[in-house]
Amino acid sequence: MAQAVYLWEMEQILQQIEAYKSEMAAFEAATPDAVEAFRIKYLGTKGLVKSVLGEMKNVPPDQRKDFGQVLNEFKAFAEARYEVLQSAAAPVNAAANAGIDWSLPADPTELGTRHPLSIVRGQMVSIFRRLGFAVAEGPEIEDDWHNFGAMNLPEDHPARDMQDTFYVKEGSENQSAWLLRTHTSSVQARVMETQKPPIRVICPGRVYRNETISARAHCFFHQVEGLYIDENVSFADLKQTLYFFVQEMFGKEVKVRFRPSYFPFTEPSAEMDISCQICAGKGCNICKHTGWVEILGSGMVHPKVLENFGIDPEKYTGFAFGMGVERIAQLKYQVNDLRLYSQNDVRFLQQFKSV
Ligand code: 2NL
């Protein structure tokens, strides 16, 4: 009779175990908190697994072995389910289960490049700095005086025309006109206004001219102008400085030639050509089969310009020059269309990655 009671009780316990197992199998835990709730309910010190194990004491000795196996298997089932829930709820482990290896290196990010004009301006500035030139900057919106008047451009000079220059504000009898600077000479004017010789500056910056946009012309471009004023500055200094510059820029093999020219702000004036970098002087389309390409304008600062700033032209002389950054970049990197510089086409820009 006693035997029958045990059997009945054991049957009940086994049924209960099966019920708990299907309950555990169906248990979903999306968060670590829910996983912890599972642990407390089934595996905690007052949990269901412990309480079923506690039934062991009521099992008759000859059946303890079999029953012990059932209970161990039940406990292992609960622990295995707990582990599965735990790894599913932890995000990194979830990723690991999804086959993601977090120890792999990240996808490479596309690096941008410096703009070719920034690269070339940087090279130009660095060469002149080594010769002792300081960098000066100034406003892009200028008054009539700093852009034109001080530079000895007469009132009726064609560059002053509305057709050639962007005016922000027209001038009147007692008000100066405001305009977008047409060269960075205006910055040098501001340097001469505030500093005494010796003056040795270069002025890199954006300048504006009213041009129809094409492969060869744009309404804005970039310039580096230079100015050196001291006692006994000669045309020989001008030539040697500019020769050194192009040798550093294009290599020691480069040849130069000077052609007489005219600018209102210099006297005498000269344009400088270098041997064509494409055909090395043999003759090609770029140099129009002359072997030479023009790269800059230069000259000895006009005495009128010095006087405009109270610098005595009997005591001081100076040379000045101006060149386009686009032009230098074109010759160095064979950029054949000015518009490329401002279109921001990454296929163009990416080509300067290795420079
Ligand atoms: C060109 C020619 C030039 C200058 C710029 C200059 C500045 C001062 C005084 C005298 Cl403060 N001259 N600048 C001189 C000669 C030529 O530029 O073709 N630029 C693109």
pLDDT, averaged across the chain: 91
**Strand residues in the chain grouped as ranges (E):** 134-135, 141-143, 167-169, 178-180, 199-208, 220-230, 256-263, 266-275, 292-301, 317-324
pLDDT in tens, 69-117: 989 999 999 999 999 988 887 766 556 667 778 888 988 888 889 999 9
Name the closest-CA residue to atom 5, ligand 1. Answer: 322
- The β-bridge partners of 180 are 141
Ligand 1 site, residue 225, Cβ cutoff 6 A: yes
Contacts of 19 (CB under 8 A, 6+ apart): none
Ligand 1 mean position, distance from CA 152 (Å): 12
What's the half-sphere exposure (Cβ side, CA atoms, 13 Å) at 302? 18
Least Cα distance to 320 among 217, 220, 189 occurs for 189
Q: Which pLDDT band, with edges at 50, 70 and 90, does 1 fall under?
A: very low
Least Cα distance to 325 among 291, 295, 353 occurs for 295
pLDDT in tens, 12-66: 888 989 999 999 999 888 888 889 999 999 999 998 899 888 888 878 888 888 8
Ligand 1 site, residue 266, Cβ cutoff 6 A: yes
Atom of ligand 1 nearest to the CA of 302: 10
Q: Which pLDDT band, with edges at 50, 70 and 90, does 177 fall under?
A: very high
Ligand 1 mean position, distance from CA 266 (Å): 7
